[in-house]
Amino acid sequence: MRSTSTGDLPVDLGRDEARELARQELSKPSYDRDTPITTRVIQWIAERIEDLLAAASGTFSSGLAIAVIVVIVVALAVLVVLRTGPLARRGARRAAPVLPDQRRTASDHRAAADDAAGDGDWNTAVLERFRAVIAGLEERGVLDTRAGRTADEAAVEAGAVLPGVAEILRAGATRFDAVRYGARHAGPADDAALRELDDAVTTARPGRPTEAGAAEFAVPR
């Protein structure tokens, strides 16, 4: 079949050619993701484009109209990849575990925090100090030793057992996440707040909640 093209897009193409064009486009590496949901969605799009092309063959006389359908569906595929690919996973990082896979003691995390603070590396100091808090809670049996727990989950679970420090634990988790994911650059005040949090949680015992210390741990906007 004769065809002319404008750039890379054929202006006159048949149904089979359009279908093959769509399949080639959707099979490019840029659409290839390991995420099962992405694979399923792309497969669904490929099936829908076959249905559209089959219906269009009896409706449109111009190959350009079919090509427009192809472009629209490919655009939808790109949107799906953006929503489920690296950009989407960037937001999912907030669900990363607070403690690393290779467990360290609370003392180890505190020592790392002290070293970082001594070097003026406030971000690392904050992260390591909060990890020391959570590791210490696991060592005391306040939290069960469990992989995959996020900072927010740890704060909520520990706060249920130690209601007196529940609010400052949640504030500490918020500060940890803000520093860890780049929304905030820590400074000496953050380090001081996490040190106070560590001291408060270390001495906390199960009991009724109090308001003491809540203001000091509020994360500045």
Q: Kindly report the number of other CB atoms within 10 A of residue 103's CB atom.
A: 11
Q: Tell me which residue of 202, 89, 90, 96 sits closest to 149, measured CA to CA.
A: 96
Mean pLDDT for the stretch of residues 159-186: 93
Q: What is the pLDDT of residues 11-36, one digit of tens each?
A: 455 566 666 666 666 565 544 444 45
pLDDT at 67 over 50: yes
Closest CA to 35 of 91, 96, 88, 94: 88
| 38-62 confidence digits (pLDDT tens) | 566 667 777 766 666 666 555 555 5
Q: What is the percent of the chain where pLDDT is above 70?
A: 52
d(CA 157, CA 133): 13
Lowest-confidence segment of 12-21, 117-126, 130-139, 164-173 by average pLDDT: 12-21
Return the H-helix or E-strand segment holding 53.
Answer: helix 36-56
Q: What is the pTM of this model?
A: 0.56
CA distance 103 to 212: 31
